[in-house]
């Protein structure tokens, strides 16, 4: 009987300690929690919630906070759909929505680009890049060892038979993870509704590029001369497409003698 009382007593005292802590916690949470801005929850709900980190914040929740404080721009996020962004802009009372974009790899060399040496080490492009600037003769040629494939949180990149990385337009959310990881820096964003893109990044002269790669841009300017809308301009040995003028007629892609303007 005495033992029983002792057990009960011990239980009661522990329970009392727990209740005291519980009460302290409840009281404190009542006094200490700040009222959360209800806009914050709405914005968080509208964001893509992929937590990709492409905006430079730790996650979508932090980005939403930064948006409310005015520290971040809505166009920093490339993953959220345009419709949702407009709703967020409404909540925030204005703000640059930005254009919907996708990433593209500005190279179609791959196996068509000559190798400087035979690489038999382990690892991806980043490790290959450490050895004399990568295996490819072209200094801005896709190495094709899948650094971007491993980085993409959405599985939108792949390296196929061509030996160079290709972005799947449907899966790409334009988060920008591959753009910062590619050791060659040849991935960038283009508008989502664009029809063509330049699949080469080499600014070199025609003869030099020909020695490096079978499909590199030789800077002949045929695309710029033939574009019926004047959307292409030659700049520093590479064509540049003004996507606001481009209608997607694909004349440039047909006329390019090196086939390095590609349909998107």
Partner 1 sequence: MTASLISVMFAAVISQNIVLSQYQGICPFLGVSKKMSSAAGMGFAVIFVLAISSVFCWLVYNYILLPLELDYLYTMAFILVIASLVQLLEMVLKRFSPTLYSALGVYLPLITTNCAILGTANSAVVYNSYNFLYTFGVSIATGVGFLLAICLLAGIRLKTDNASEIPKCFKGFPITLVTAAIMAMAFAGFSGILG
Residues at the site binding partner 1, with contacts judged by CB under 8 A:
10, 13-14, 17-18, 21-22, 24-25, 28-29, 32-34, 58, 121-123, 127
Q: Which is nearer to partner 1, 121 or 257 (CB)?
A: 121
| Chain-centroid distance, C-alpha 193 | 17
181 vs 211: CA distance, rounded Å: 28
178, 151 contact by CB (below 8 A)? yes
Q: Which is nearer to partner 1, 84 or 127 (CB)?
A: 127
Q: Burial of 92 by CB count in 10 Å (0-12 exposed, 13-18 middle, 19+ buried)?
A: middle
CB atoms within 10 A of CB 135: 21
60, 50 contact by CB (below 8 A)? yes
Q: Which is nearer to partner 1, 34 or 244 (CB)?
A: 34
State the greatest distance between any 2 C-alpha atoms of the chain, in Å, as a whole number: 103
Collect contacts of 237-240 with beta carbons under 8 A, ≥24 apart: 237/202, 237/203, 237/204, 237/205, 238/198, 238/200, 238/201, 238/202, 238/203, 239/198, 240/198
Q: Which is nearer to partner 1, 58 or 82 (CB)?
A: 58
Q: How far is the CB of 116 from partner 1 (least distance, A)?
A: 20
C-alpha atoms less than 13 angstroms from C-alpha of 113 in its C-beta half-sphere: 29
β-bridge pairing 157-159 and 165-167: antiparallel
Q: How far is the CB of 66 from partner 1 (least distance, A)?
A: 12
Q: Burial of 97 by CB count in 10 Å (0-12 exposed, 13-18 middle, 19+ buried)?
A: middle
Q: How far is the CB of 121 from partner 1 (least distance, A)?
A: 6
Q: Which is nearer to partner 1, 121 or 139 (CB)?
A: 121
Q: Which is nearer to partner 1, 21 or 245 (CB)?
A: 21
Q: How far is the CB of 14 from partner 1 (least distance, A)?
A: 6
Q: How far is the CB of 25 from partner 1 (least distance, A)?
A: 6
Q: How far is the CB of 157 from partner 1 (least distance, A)?
A: 21
β-bridge pairing 261-263 and 187-191: unpaired
Q: Which is nearer to partner 1, 128 or 142 (CB)?
A: 128
Q: How far is the CB of 183 from partner 1 (least distance, A)?
A: 14
108, 199 contact by CB (below 8 A)? yes
């Amino acid at each position: 009987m005495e033992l029983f009382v002792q057990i009960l007593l011990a239980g009661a005292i522990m329970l009392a300690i727990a209740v005291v802590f519980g009460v302290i916690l409840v009281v404190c949470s009542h006094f200490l929690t700040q009222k959360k801005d209800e806009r914050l929850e709405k914005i968080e709900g509208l964001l893509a919630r992929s937590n990709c980190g492409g905006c430079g914040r730790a996650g979508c929740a932090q980005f939403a906070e930064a948006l409310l404080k005015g520290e971040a721009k809505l166009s920093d996020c490339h993953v959220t759909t345009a419709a949702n962004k407009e709703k967020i802009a409404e909540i925030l009372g204005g703000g640059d929505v930005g254009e919907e974009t996708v990433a593209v790899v500005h190279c179609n060399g791959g196996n068509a680009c000559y190798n400087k040496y035979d690489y038999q080490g382990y690892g991806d492009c980043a490790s290959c890049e450490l050895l004399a600037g990568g295996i490819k003769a072209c200094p801005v040629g896709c190495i094709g060892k899948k650094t971007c494939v491993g980085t993409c949180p959405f599985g939108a990149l792949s390296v196929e038979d061509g030996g160079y990385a290709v972005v799947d337009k449907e899966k790409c959310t334009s988060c920008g993870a591959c753009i910062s990881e590619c050791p060659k820096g040849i991935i960038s964003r283009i508008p989502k509704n664009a029809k063509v893109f330049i699949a080469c990044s080499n600014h070199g002269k025609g003869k030099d590029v020909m020695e490096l790669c079978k499909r590199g841009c030789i800077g002949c300017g045929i695309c710029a001369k033939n574009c019926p809308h004047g959307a292409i301009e030659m700049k520093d040995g590479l064509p540049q497409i003004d996507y606001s003028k481009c209608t997607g007629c694909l004349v440039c892609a047909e006329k390019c003698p090196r086939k390095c303007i590609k349909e998107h």
